[in-house]
């Protein structure tokens, strides 16, 4: 496939994966923050990452420029191979959130990268078709292909991954009154390390409880039933193992619930926590309460408040 344009820039948002009870099968997009990726067509095949930069002071020197070791580069390589591209690309990445934050940083770069390259094409693919390629980039960061970050980063909304072979996505429009608070303690957790903590087998009763919570959460989101959402935002499989990685996890969760959140759990692999609330005012109060807990523990942190996004990645410019 040939390129119809020479350069494109795309944005992809932060995401919350797992959403408490939906490990590897549920995620949603935020309106902000997010990453931007610019791609420029070259005659030389393949991918060359020119720079990974940040305009808000985030460290980027540790992020690899080799395309096979970078989530954006890996995703683009998979896409170029998949479409049998007759061109290569140079890549500039602008990070707006740190790696290992639990906010889908690696997925945002992969998503923005494939959406930017797709915008160059004579016959662009549908956004849903890009998820497979984005997953290839995600595997570089996590050690396995999973779509609960990259799918909502690309197509937006709340996304249920019904199956992986082949990928089967169910997109749900988020309730308009639902806001997300994220608190990011200033430490990093390796996604690979966090996955290695998890048990290989779980008791049947534990699985039944989790299935009920996931089904209830999906039904609550579709119906806009705040009570059902609150009753369902519980994780009995992953959270008990990963909570120990996050300083003050249970104090942060208690603060969020006391401030009015419907529920609170680990965002992705952590160390960030997310909480869902029924208004922006409550979401900001939740953020203030959790920030105070971190401050009491002398832990620096950053709070984000965002409506759940209906949209995902978007092309900012193409020429």
Q: In what order do the strands lie in the sheet with 301-307?
A: 263-266, 273-277, 179-185, 301-307
Is 191 one of the annotated active-site residues of the chain?
yes
The residue from 71, 191, 278, 302 that is catalytic is 191
Instruction: Tell me how far apart the alpha carbons of residues 18 and 29 are, in angstroms, rounded to a whole number.
Output: 12
- Adjacent-strand bridge partners of 9: 38, 317
CB 184 within 8 A of CB 301: yes
Query: Which residue, chain included where needed, has tokens 């920030």?
Result: 291
Q: Which residue of the set 7, 15, 38, 138 is catalytic? A: 138
- Integer angstrom CA distances of residue 172 from 69, 151, 161, 169, 224: 32, 12, 11, 10, 11
User: What is the DSSP secondary-structure string of 300-313?
Assistant: -EEEEEEEBPS---
Distance CA 282, CA 276 (A): 9
Radius of gyration of the chain (CA): 19
Angle at 24 between CA 72 and CA 138, to 5 degrees: 10
User: Do residues 14 and 149 touch, judged by C-beta distance below 8 A?
Assistant: no
- Cα 222 from Cα 229, distance rounded (Å): 10
HSE value, Cβ hemisphere, 13 Å, CA-based, for 125: 21
Alpha carbons 203 and 200: distance in angstroms, whole number:
11
Handedness of CA 78, 150, 96, 194 (dihedral sign): negative
H or E segment to which residue 109 belongs: helix 105-120
**Catalytically annotated residues:** 138, 191
């Amino acid at each position: 496939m040939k390129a119809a344009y020479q350069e494109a820039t795309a944005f992809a948002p932060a995401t919350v994966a797992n959403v408490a009870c939906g490990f590897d099968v549920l995620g949603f997009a935020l309106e902000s923050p997010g990453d931007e990726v610019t791609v420029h067509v070259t005659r030389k095949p393949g991918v060359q990452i020119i720079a990974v930069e940040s305009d808000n002071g985030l460290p980027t020197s540790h992020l690899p420029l080799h395309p096979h070791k970078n989530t954006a580069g890996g995703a683009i390589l998979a896409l170029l191979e998949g479409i049998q591209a007759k061109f290569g690309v140079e890549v500039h990445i602008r990070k707006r959130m740190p790696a290992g934050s639990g906010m889908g940083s690696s997925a945002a770069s992969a998503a923005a990268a494939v959406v930017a390259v797709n915008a160059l094409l004579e016959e662009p693919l549908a956004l849903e078709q890009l998820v497979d390629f984005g997953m290839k980039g995600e595997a570089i960061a996590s050690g396995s292909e999973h779509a609960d970050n990259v799918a909502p980063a690309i197509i937006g909304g709340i996304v249920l991954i019904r199956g992986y072979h082949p990928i089967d996505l169910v997109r749900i429009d988020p309730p308009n009154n639902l806001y997300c608070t994220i608190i990011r303690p200033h430490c990093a957790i390796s996604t690979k390390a966090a996955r290695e903590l998890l048990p290989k087998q779980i008791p049947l009763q534990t699985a039944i409880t989790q299935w009920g919570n996931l089904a209830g959460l999906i039904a609550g989101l579709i119906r806009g039933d705040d009570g059902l959402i609150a009753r369902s935002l519980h994780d009995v499989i992953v959270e008990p193992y990963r909570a120990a990685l996050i300083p003050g996890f249970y104090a942060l969760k208690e603060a969020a619930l006391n401030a009015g959140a419907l529920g609170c759990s680990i965002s992705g692999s952590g160390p960030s926590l997310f909480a869902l609330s029924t208004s922006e005012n409550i979401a900001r109060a939740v953020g203030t309460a959790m920030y105070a807990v971190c401050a009491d523990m002398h832990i620096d942190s950053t709070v984000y408040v965002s409506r759940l996004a209906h949209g995902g990645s978007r092309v900012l410019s193409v020429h």
